[in-house]
Amino acid sequence: MSVSEMTQVRDVRHFVGGAWIDRESTESRTNPADPTDLVSRAPDADRGVVAEAVEAAQEATHPWGALSAQERGAVVAEAARILDGRAAEIAQLLTREEGKTLAEAAGEVDRAVRMLTFYAAQAWHPLGATLPSADGRTHLYTTRVPVGVVGLITPWNFPVAIPVWKLAPALVAGNSVVLKPSSYVPATTQALLECFVEAGIPAGVLNVVYGSGSRAGQALVDDERVAALSFTGSSGVGRGINLAAAARMARVQLEMGGKNAMVVLPDADPAAAADLCVRGAFGLTGQACTATSRVIVLRGDEHRLLDALVARTAEIVTGDPLDPRTTMGPVVTDRQLATDVGYVDQALAAGAELVAGGTAEGLFLEPTILRNVHRDSAIANEEVFGPVLSVLVADSREDAVNLLNSTEYGLTAGVVTNDVESAMSFARDADAGVIKINRQTPGTDVNAPFGGNRSSSNGLFREQGLTATEFFTRVKTVYLGY
Ligand code: NAP
Ligand code: MG
């Protein structure tokens, strides 16, 4: 990587109907680790640009859907190959723009390559079933057909992986797409898009517009021609999208916030448990929907675990995420930092105690651990989305699971134990879409369904794995008499 590439300012343009659209760039994004490093300039789409993108997608739907699934899969496989070839450069850009460490960014790009490869292979999978018909002279079968134009709205925290886990199954299934990524990550999105363009995605099949959620995002949500909307982001924004989609009877998939907890049972080795909790809480600067935000420990066992948590947290090296020695990067924006610090201050005012961290310099917030956190306090119940971990005490195993289930969210839930009965009872009773036993709460395999319960999801369709295709297709039942 040359120095000029590392410091280059990327000019981002909308991509509509196979053409790069020149519009004045009004938005700029600086490196969260270094405010003097201007990473990208991007336009802010008005409703007109969004409407043009939807129109281009609509025109492309039929020819794209008419290709064989294998032909569409080949384009996605080629995009995987190109992304893999550009992995180091795109990881670097992701780090500059979003702030996760270079190792985390490389892991994200690698995961996206595997997802593209997985969905490209889906092109060979069966789409339906042959059913015995009550009429012996009827051939009765089901197949799956694309839904049409799909609108994808994505957050900033996984700017490569999240668009990919929506795009790949949508495209292979034969849909055309309009993507509206988070305005914090336009350059990373454009780099990903370039991989599809180079792979030969036909004009209009994949369109990307940049701009604020309240304008560009809302325009996509409201467009009658968009048959399905897949959104990942906060629960507040997701609720609004759900209402708007319902009003016009559009199919909608919402994956949203989390308040994930790790229950550490007394039989667990404290150092091993602390390692899982700390990686889950402070990996990705705690800015993952699946981050460990609460640790629940049984009364009497708290100090043993706290000592191990503090010792493991002391190993974290916070700093420039481009430096390979760094293990935790900055918070994404000053607004997010103010949210994180606000929750900590509120908890301290309500009687919580700091056992690690608590202070920030620039956008670098130290990994922060609080104890004596009141169950009813905001920090124990609301998503923080930063490197802040609350330790809560439960009176029994049952109380621990009730406490785990007591927030409005239900995305991932973890337990650390070697006792089979405890582990299996937890898997049954924890109300979350993903259960982790002796594994950290973040991180998922590309071939496994992913999604949450309650306010973490609208719960109708799971993302990733084979289940992703269910959202991007409709079942068609065919009776053929002969
Ligand atoms: P966000 O603020 O909800 O924004 C998500 C996306 O929605 C952005 O592209 C945003 O645009 C857009 N948006 C905002 N208002 C909109 C509106 N009225 N209509 C249409 N689109 C609108 O979320 P974020 O801050 O980017 O990401 C953090 C959140 O995502 C956390 O809550 C996290 O838990 C969640 N998340 C969930 C998952 C999961 O799979 N469950 C995965 C990752 C993250 P702009 O921001 O550009 O204005
Ligand atoms: Mg936001």
- Burial tier of 325 (Cβ tally within 10 Å: 0-12, 13-18, 19+): exposed
Q: Distance from the CA of 236 to the center of ligand 1, in angstroms? A: 9
Q: Distance from the CA of 79 to the center of ligand 2, in angstroms? A: 29
Q: What is the 3-state secondary structure (H, E, C) of 427-481?
A: HHHCCCCEEEECCCCCCCCCCCCECCEECCECCCCCECCCCHHHHCEEEEEEEEE
Half-sphere exposure of 279 (CA within 13 A, CB side): 13
Q: Distance from the CA of 423 to the center of ligand 2, in angstroms? A: 35
> Distances in Å between the alpha carbon of 330 and those of 9, 87, 118, 282, 284?
20, 22, 32, 11, 9
Point out the ligand nearest to the CA of residue 382.
1
Residues 449, 462 contacting (CB under 8 angstroms)? yes
- Burial tier of 197 (Cβ tally within 10 Å: 0-12, 13-18, 19+): middle
Helices in 123-181 by DSSP H: which ranges? 161-172
Q: Distance from the CA of 453 to the center of ligand 1, in angstroms? A: 17
CATH topology identical between 3-256+457-481 and 260-445: no
Say how far apart CA 342 and CA 384 lie, in whole Å.
Answer: 9
Q: Distance from the CA of 234 to the center of ligand 2, in angstroms? A: 7
Topology of domain 260-445, per CATH?
Aldehyde Dehydrogenase; Chain A, domain 2 (3.40.309)
Of 159, 432, 149, nearest in space to 290 by CA: 432
CA 361 to centroid of chain Cα atoms: 27
Residues sharing a CB contact under 8 Å with residue 406, sequence separation 6 or more, in sequence order: 375, 381
| Most informative mutation of 214, 234, 331 for ligand 1 (most atoms within 8 A of CB) | 234
Residues sharing a CB contact under 8 Å with residue 158, sequence separation 6 or more, in sequence order: 108, 288
Of all atoms in ligand 1, which is nearest to the CA of residue 218? Answer: 19
Say how far apart CA 286 and CA 291 lie, in whole Å.
Answer: 6
Residues 294, 276 contacting (CB under 8 angstroms)? no
Residues 382, 406 contacting (CB under 8 angstroms)? no
Strand 368-371 to strand 353-356: parallel, antiparallel, or no bridges (unpaired)?
A: antiparallel
Q: Which residues approach ligand 1 with their CB closer than 6 A? A: 153-158, 180-183, 212-214, 217-218, 221, 232-234, 237, 240-241, 255-258, 289, 383, 385, 411, 452, 456
Of 347, 438, 416, nearest in space to 384 by CA: 347
Point out the ligand nearest to the CA of residue 252.
1
pLDDT value of residue 5: 66
Residues sharing a CB contact under 8 Å with residue 48, sequence separation 6 or more, in sequence order: none
- The H or E element spanning position 394 is strand 388-394
Class for the domain spanning 3-256+457-481: alpha beta
Of all atoms in ligand 1, which is nearest to the CA of residue 463? Answer: 40
Neighbours of 382 (CB within 10 A): 18
Of 257, 258, 283, 238, nearest in space to 430 by CA: 258
| Most informative mutation of 218, 220, 237 for ligand 1 (most atoms within 8 A of CB) | 237
pLDDT value of residue 7: 77
Beta strands in 166-302 (DSSP E): 176-180, 206-208, 228-232, 251-255, 260-264, 292-298
Residue pLDDT, tens place only, 228-248: 999 999 999 999 999 999 999
Q: Distance from the CA of 214 to the center of ligand 2, in angstroms? A: 11
Phi, psi of 351, rounded to the nearest 5 degrees: 110, 0
Q: What is the 3-state secondary structure (H, E, C) of 343-388?
A: HHHHHHHCCCEEEECCCEECCEECCEEEECCCCCCHHHHCCCCCCE
Beta strands in 59-127 (DSSP E): none
pLDDT value of residue 3: 55
Residues 38, 105 contacting (CB under 8 angstroms)? no
Point out the ligand nearest to the CA of residue 383.
1
pLDDT value of residue 47: 95
Residue pLDDT, tens place only, 380-423: 999 999 999 999 999 999 999 999 999 999 999 999 999 999 99
Domains of the chain, residue spans: 3-256+457-481, 260-445
What amino acid positions are annotated as catalytic residues? 255, 289
Q: What is the DSSP letter of 283?
A: G
pLDDT tens-digit profile, the chain (482 residues): 555 567 799 999 999 999 999 899 999 999 999 999 999 999 999 999 999 999 999 999 999 999 999 999 999 999 999 999 999 999 999 999 999 999 999 999 999 999 999 999 999 999 999 999 999 999 999 999 999 999 999 999 999 999 999 999 999 999 999 999 999 999 999 999 999 999 999 999 999 999 999 999 999 999 999 999 999 999 999 999 999 999 999 999 999 999 999 999 999 999 999 999 999 999 999 999 999 999 999 999 999 999 999 999 999 999 999 999 999 999 999 999 999 999 999 999 999 999 999 999 999 999 999 999 999 999 999 999 999 999 999 999 999 999 999 999 999 999 999 999 999 999 999 999 999 999 999 999 999 999 999 999 999 999 999 999 999 999 999 999 99
End-to-end CA distance of the chain: 64
Q: Whose CA is nearest to atom 30 of ligand 1?
A: 233
Of all atoms in ligand 1, which is nearest to the CA of residue 457? Answer: 41
- Burial tier of 36 (Cβ tally within 10 Å: 0-12, 13-18, 19+): exposed
